[in-house]
Every structure is written in structure tokens, then in C-alpha cells.
Amino acid sequence: MKEEDDDDDGLLVEEEDSDFEDDSKTKKRKAVTSKHFDNKKTEKKKPDTKGKKPTKEKKEDNDLEDIEDLVTTPHKFSLHNFKNDEEIVSIRRDLIGWYEKSKRDLPWRVDPPKSSSSIDSEILNIKAYRVWVSEIMLQQTRVSTVIEYFNKWIKRWPTVQSLSSATLEEVNECWAGLGYYRRAKFLYEGSKYIVNECNGIIPSSIEKLILVPGIGKYTAGAISSIAFDIPTPLVDGNVIRVISRLRVIGASPKNSKADKLIWNLAGLLVLTAGEAYNVSSFNQGLMELGATVCTPTNPECKVCPINKHCTAYQQPIGNSQPSASVEKGEQCNVCEGWTEEEMATNSVTKYPRKAIKKEPRKETVFVCILKQSGEPSKDNDKDESDKYFLVQRSNEGLLASLWEAPSILVDSNEKTYEKGMDDFLKGVLDLNVWKVEKRTRIGDTFHIFSHIHQTLIVECMTIAPIKGAVVEEKKENGDR
């Protein structure tokens, strides 16, 4: 169950997945070099640059920070491995036992199927659909917020077939207020794909699930394992946190090597041979543990059902403790090292190492509330309702396909704002048949996305048709 971490800033934000970027390559932390680390042994010999043009040293794609600024205490890579198959079996047994007793009562919870052959295929399809909807809604959104939206969604579209028959406008309307609207569009497009390409049956295999628009590796793993009980790893923020602490992985999940290691360990947890177990309950238990016990701050380690297997709990200083001797081929190349502040922390909250967040870009948007005043009614002399003009955003990018008041991105030169808006409106309305009755600056407001902070400068423009002119609205979408 993928949900927003509790240590986020709590702001009401919106975000588009396509805009996620990792800028940690360009930022540095003040780091501590362990006294156990022999700098002389690893110091690179400076090349002879005399008479040569300086060249930039090529970095590996997964380098997140300058290695000279962050140095980890040498330790064996084997520190991050499970001890043996028996340990994995024990983790599964303890976690499933805890989950069955402690799991929250949530509307999308799916009872684990005994075997797909003994369950009606239609019911199994509905279960897979409910898992899919819940997992998409829970991305970057808290459980408490999702419950109401999930119930409303399922009441309106209880099956993938019913969702595919809706319109995108209806889907966005139902989603309104949940944010991250691209998720709703993916659900809608995915439902059409499943109806048209899969005869309305949600696939059970990872290979087929990832072909569905909007379904990636994590969501595919969730559907396959939770709905169909197929041994498939899944990794969300909660699972990353649990595994990072279990195996003291001192790296940000944004590090490609750390990401690969965590997925490999998640795979071992579900694929290692041993006594029969319920994959659905185990994977849900892993996420439940991260959401309720192994939390970002103030984790309840003493009541954790697998704390005896947790290296970060049993050995709080984790990989800051040097190995007695580390051969060159045995040394871990995943962990990134610690800053002074991190080095002083002996809590399990040290793991996973936090990624450096990119500073949100700042934008100024000029917004026009475009209004046609209501006219007196011939019957009762009451004014008809005012009409407001909206434009539809582009089908791609931020808030794709949503409707909004006419708006344009502007720079700091306020003198150009009104002319820029006039030019934009020429593509929406035929200004030759409209006259401007009133134009007033209302004020400023703010809209916060996780990656963009917008200042909205708002005006209200009242227009009326020129007497005798034929009014025709243009149908083109806005170009932002």
C-alpha cells in the first residue's frame, strides 16, 4: 500500500510524475570521513595535465553526490544480505502472523485467495480492480484521505468495464480534490486498454500488467501478489524503509544501486523456497508494517514483529561500524556515507538515507476571471446567472486536460500582463464581437505543487457581446 510518508511537510500539494527529477547529483552535503578509513590507499593519482586541455571526469549515472564529499566507512557488501533462507522464512512467518492480527480495516482489503481455480473469475477480477484503484489513489496520498474517495469511486464504477464506459470529464470530476490528476487519467486509459485488449480481464502476470497504461513495476507487483497471490516483489516507500532498516542500507532510494539492491532483497523475501505461505498477506504485511510501526519518525521498534532480524535495531550504528578487514572485491559500493548530523544519530530513523530534495521552481501566472454578466429576464425582471468562460489545458503536461480560467505564464514585467492575456484570449474568443465592460485587478494568491510554487495574479474581466454581432465560441484547447 503506497502512501505518503508521515514526515512530509503537510502542505496540500499537487504533482505530476513526469516532473519528478533527481537533482542530488548537483548538490553536496558536508560529510564525515571515518577515522578508520585510509585515505591514502584510495587517493587517486592526479593526472599530468601539463600541456593538455582539462577534461571533465565522467561520473557513473548512479552517483548521487561527489564521492570526495561523502565517504562511507568500509564494510562488506554481505552486511546487507539476509543470513540464510531460514531467516527469510522466519521473517515471513512472524510478519504474516502479526498482520493477520493487527491489520487495519480498510475498504480495499482483499481476502487472500486460496487458489485462483477455486474462485469465480469475475470475483477475482473485481478484487484485482479494487487493488489497482486503491494503489493508484494511495500514491503520495494518505490512507485517511483516500478512504472516502475510494468508496465514492467504487460506488460509481464497481468494475473495470463500468469505468471504461465513463468519460474523462466524469473521472476527473470524481477525482477532484485528491490531486495528482494524471493518476485518474491513467486509471481511465488503463480500463479502456483492459476492456479492448484483454477482454475485460485484468492480467495476473507482471509481464502483461506492465503493458497496461499507467501500471508500473510497483503497481504490477501489488496487483499480482495481493489479488492473485503470485510470489512477486513490490517496493513502495514503506517497503523501502523496512528493508533499509532490516539490512542497514545507508543510501538514498534515489541511488540506482540502492534501488536495485532493495528490489533484489524484496524478491528474496517472496521467492526464497521454504514452508508454504500466503504471498498476499506477506506483501500487505510488509507495507502495513512500514505504515504503522516502522514509520519515518518515532518507530515502535519494541513491538515490531521482526525486530530480532533488524540489523539497524540490533546494531543501531549500522554500517558506521567498520568491518575488521574488507577485501577490495568485498567492499560495499552502495552506501553513500554520513553527514555530521546523520553520524550522530544512532536511531533506526537513520535509514533510509534521505535524498536531497530539489528546490521547487517559482512561477508567476496571470489569471483572468472572464465573466459575461447576466441579463434581465423578460418574465420576472430578475437577472440571469452570470456566465464564466473556461479553457481546457493541453492533453500533455501539468494538469493535463483539466478546465481552468484563462491563464498565462508571465515574467516580472507587469506592463505586459494585460496585453499577453488579450493575445491569449484571441485564440479562445472572437474579440471583434465582444466588448470589455470592466477590467479589475483582484489580487494575488498562491498555489503550491511539490515541484512548483506559483504566484497567481488575478484579474476579473466583464465582457458583453457587441449589439448585432453573432457570438461563436472557439473550440480550441488552451496551449498551456
Q: Which of 473, 441, 469 is nearest to 457 (CA)?
A: 441
Q: Residue 391, Cβ neighbours under 10 Å: how many?
A: 22
Tell me the β-bridge partners of 464.
Answer: 435
Residue 340 contacts residue 7 (beta carbons within 8 Å): no
Residue 434 contacts residue 370 (beta carbons within 8 Å): no
- Give the total residue count for the chain: 480
**Sign of the torsion formed by the C-alpha atoms of 340, 5, 451 and 186:** positive
Terminal CA-CA length for the chain: 34
Measured CA to CA, the distance from residue 364 to residue 368 in angstroms comes to 13
Catalytic residue among 14, 15, 65, 135: 135
- The reply to whether 473 belongs to the active site is no
Active-site residue set: 135
